[in-house]
Structure formats: C-alpha cells, structure tokens
Chain A
Amino acid sequence: MFKTLTMTVNGAEVSIPVDERESLVDTLRNRLGLTSVKKGCEVGECGACTVLVDGEAIDSCIYLSVWAEGRRILTVEGLKSPTGELDPIQQAFIDEAATQCGFCTPGIIMSAVEIVGTGKRYSREELRKLISGHLCRCTGYESILNAMERIVEETYKRVGK
C-alpha cells in the first residue's frame, strides 16, 4: 500500500508517495535520486547505506521509509556549502587519500558527520570502534583513520568540548 511520506531531506521538506514495504535506501536512491547512498550488503553489516536520521547514523537498508515521517534525513548531497564547496570532512578524506574505489566513502563520511558533530576529542582506538559499522575493502582503514583523526582534531581545536 502506498503512503504519503513527509520528511526533511538535506534541509528541504519533501512529500512523496512511498510503498510501506520500502526501505529508506530505496526511497532515497530511486525516488529522490540521492545516489550517494549506496546499496551494499542490504542486511545492516557493511554501512555503505549510512545516512543520518535526526542526527544519528543508521543503516538505511534496514530502516522502513515510513519511519522517516516527520524526521530530518541527511545524506552526502546535503553536505556541500551554498557556494558548492566541499565540507571540511570531505576535504580531510581527500587530503589523506582516504578513498580508493569510493563505495564505502559516503557512508563513512556520514558517520564522520555524527562523530565530528559531538565536538569531542577521540583517540585512534575510539575512532576505530566508532567506524566499526563500515566495511572498506580497499584502504585497510589506516588512511580513513588518518582523515578522521585530522578532522576530529581540527574541530576540537575550534569548538572543543
């Protein structure tokens, strides 16, 4: 059965019909064209489909679209500035060469948005745990952790908590 779903996606309110059996990753990709949200394992293990719902990172492959009613969704498409510049988190991933094939990157960046948003300082070991819901088969994670450390440190220096 179709339902009208109203939610805020990347700052803009959208109202669209969705099938109540649909996962949020399908709604975001197929109905809204937000293809930064990747479909990987589809069972909540690889983290490629990670988006923020009301500021919290979730696997959108195991999240029913109807649950997003009235909520705020953020994907990588919502990170760029009004003038089109990259978010500092994206820039840190480029500077540290933290991306190879790129399939896991949007998901990890969204987790990074949640982590960096706390304004806290994290050790490398803590960061390792905080990105453990993502699989990357290229980098061996070291460059990703370098990027995370860099942006967490920069943010802490600015807004430190």
Chain B
Amino acid sequence: MFDIESLYQATGIQDAIRALQADERAMIISGGSDVLIQCREGRLAGCSLVSIHGIPELMGIEQAADGTVTIRAATSFSHIANHEIIRRTVPMLGDAVDQVGGPQIRNIGTIGGNVCNGVTSADSASSLWALNATLELHSASGVRQVPIRDFYTGAGKTVRRRDEVLVALHIQKKDYDGFGGCYLKYGKRNAMEIATLGCAAMVRLTEDRRHVADLRLAYGVAGPTPLRCVNTEDAARGMKTDEALLLHVAAGAVAEVNPRTSWRASKEFRLQLVSELAKRAVRQATLNAGGELDV
C-alpha cells in the first residue's frame, strides 16, 4: 500500500486541470515509475495525486502536413522508440528513449514525465534540446507553448506550474530535416541505469557533404539542467568534417559545461566523458547524415 492521501483519476485534460485547481496540494502522476517510488521512500508520503494515466487524448504520435512531429505527453517510451514516424523523422530520440531503465519501465514511463521531473539525467532531455522541442502546457488560464531552452530553471525545477498539464511536445521539420543524429549514454551498466552522462549530437551537411551546415550538441548531467553548447555549435558551422572538427567540439564542449561531482562520478571524469562523447557522437551523427570523416 502506497502512502497516498488521495488519488483522483482524471477522465481528460480539462478534468485533470479542474482537479489540480480544486486541491492546492495535488500533483500529477502519469506513468508512476518515479512518483510511486518516491511515495514508497517517504519523500512524497501523504501526497494528493491527480492521475493522468491512460487518458487517450494524452497518448499518440502524429505528423502534421508541415512536417511537425507531435508526441503527446503520456506516450510511453516503448511506443515512441518503435513508432514509424519517430524512426523516419527523429530516430535519435527513439534511440535515446530506448535506453531508459529496462523494458518494463519503458512500457510504463512517459516522455512527459521524463521532462516534467526536471532532472538533468533524463534520457530524452538532451535529444529534445538538440531538436529544439516546444512544450505545450495547458491550464485554466489557457495554453502556452514553451521552447525547451526556457523550460528548465534548475535541478528538478521547471517553469511548469503545479496546476499546468504538459499535453504535447512538438518538433518542427526545420529541426530534424536533413540532420543525422546520435545519442550516446554513458552508464556503469547497459540497462536499468541512470546516465552518468548523456550526449546528443546532430549534424546537417553542406551540399558537397564535406562541411558542416549546422551542428547541435546537447548534454544531460553536464550541469544542473540539460544544456546546449551554443558557442561550440556556432563555431562549427562551415568547418570541414575531419579530425579538427572532432577536436573542436570536444574542447568547445568542455568549456561550456558545468558538471559536478556526485556519488555516481567525479566532475573530472564527467569532463572526460563530455570531451570523448562529443567526438564519438558528432562522428556518428556525421555518418548518419550521409557524410564522411577524413580521420
């Protein structure tokens, strides 16, 4: 038996918003793989929960006529990883969520929960940053679209208000079209592991396939929130795809991140990973974009 004061199963988005307003202590539970564990540990003991589990209008993946990919917030990781639209448009994100926990967790855990927890280690977060995802939040005062770069405010903190429901994540065509991507997760084990470091790289090539038209580099666990290395990205545009590019992204990223020492790994080791994973992810992203590397 979980230490829960009250539980309300919402029937839809509006019903969930109403229930969150009616009880000022209430918080959202979706897949439950984080919230229920925190109830059991005592951290959330006595909480009031509004469940958005299994609400049909919060699940599914679509692609609009203009190419925008929409992932509804309560879609489970396993449904995202293997979805035809995801494999065709943003396979890096599919690969990233396929590395969360284990198979049973991926059948229950949701991408919305992964983002709303606000944790830097969320496997989906660095890919969503690289993809410039927009988060659609609904509340009694209306709907707002928040770019992911404005979403995180600190470790475990986001701009989402308690009575707001994350309904969907949107990725525009200009943010995936022509890009090759790669997400690399470093952990001590291959499964049931929280990332020591996560790195998402995206590369779009010029017509000659020898130069970088656009490059994006995002990390999880390289700072209190997921982050992008924008200076490194700016300087990489126009560079030839060779070893100098890999050395540039590795050195550039190290200057832009701010990892800390935790029981999982030291700051020094994380910096080493930032450098090494940047090289490996950018190299693979370049290959995935149809390019070659003169290394």
B108 lies within 8 A of A21 (CB)? no
A129 lies within 8 A of B191 (CB)? yes
Within 8 Å CB of A47, what residues of B? 102, 104
Over the window 118-161 of chain A, the binary record of Cβ atoms lying under 8 Å from chain B Cβ atoms (1 yes, 0 no) is 00000000000111111000000000000000000000000000
B107 lies within 8 A of A129 (CB)? no
A62 lies within 8 A of B37 (CB)? yes
Closest to A110 in B: B104
Q: How far is B104's CA from A111's CA once the two chains are assembled, in angstroms?
A: 8
Q: Cβ of B36 < 8 Å from any Cβ of A?
A: yes
Q: Cβ of B103 < 8 Å from any Cβ of A?
A: yes
Q: How far is B221's CA from A154's CA once the two chains are assembled, in angstroms?
A: 43
A64 lies within 8 A of B104 (CB)? no
Q: Cβ of A43 < 8 Å from any Cβ of B?
A: yes
Stretch in B2-10, B144-152, B176-184, B277-285 touching the partner: B2-10
Q: Cβ of B255 < 8 Å from any Cβ of A?
A: no
Q: How far is B190's CA from A58's CA once the two chains are assembled, in angstroms?
A: 19
Q: Cβ of A96 < 8 Å from any Cβ of B?
A: no
A67 lies within 8 A of B53 (CB)? yes
Closest to B41 in A: A43
Q: Cβ of B264 < 8 Å from any Cβ of A?
A: no
Over the window 75-107 of chain B, the binary record of Cβ atoms lying under 8 Å from chain A Cβ atoms (1 yes, 0 no) is 000100000000000000000000001111101
Within 8 Å CB of A58, what residues of B? 104, 107-108
A130 lies within 8 A of B103 (CB)? yes
Q: Cβ of A105 < 8 Å from any Cβ of B?
A: no
Closest Cβ of chain A to B230, distance in Å, is 34
Contact of B101 among A56, A57, A133 (CB under 8 A): A133
B103 lies within 8 A of A62 (CB)? no
Q: How far is B7's CA from A57's CA once the two chains are assembled, in angstroms?
A: 24
Within 8 Å CB of B54, what residues of A? 67
B9 lies within 8 A of A66 (CB)? yes
Over the window 49-75 of chain B, the binary record of Cβ atoms lying under 8 Å from chain A Cβ atoms (1 yes, 0 no) is 001011000000000000000000000
Instruction: From known contacts A43-B37, A129-B191, A132-B192, infer whether A59 and B105 are also in contact, taking CB-CB under 8 Å.
Output: yes
B2 lies within 8 A of A21 (CB)? yes
Closest Cβ of chain B to A129, distance in Å, is 7
Closest to A55 in B: B107
A-B CB contact pairs (8 Å), 17 listed: A19-B1, A20-B7, A21-B1, A22-B2, A26-B1, A56-B78, A57-B103, A62-B36, A64-B32, A64-B36, A64-B53, A66-B9, A67-B54, A129-B103, A132-B102, A132-B103, A132-B190
Interface residues of chain A, those whose CB is within 8 Å of chain B, are 1, 19-23, 26, 42-45, 47, 50, 56-59, 62-64, 66-67, 111, 129-134
Interface residues of chain B, those whose CB is within 8 Å of chain A, are 1-4, 6-7, 9, 32-33, 36-37, 40, 51, 53-54, 78, 101-105, 107-108, 190-192
Leading 7 A-B pairs by shortest Cβ distance: A133-B102, A132-B191, A133-B104, A56-B107, A62-B36, A59-B104, A21-B4
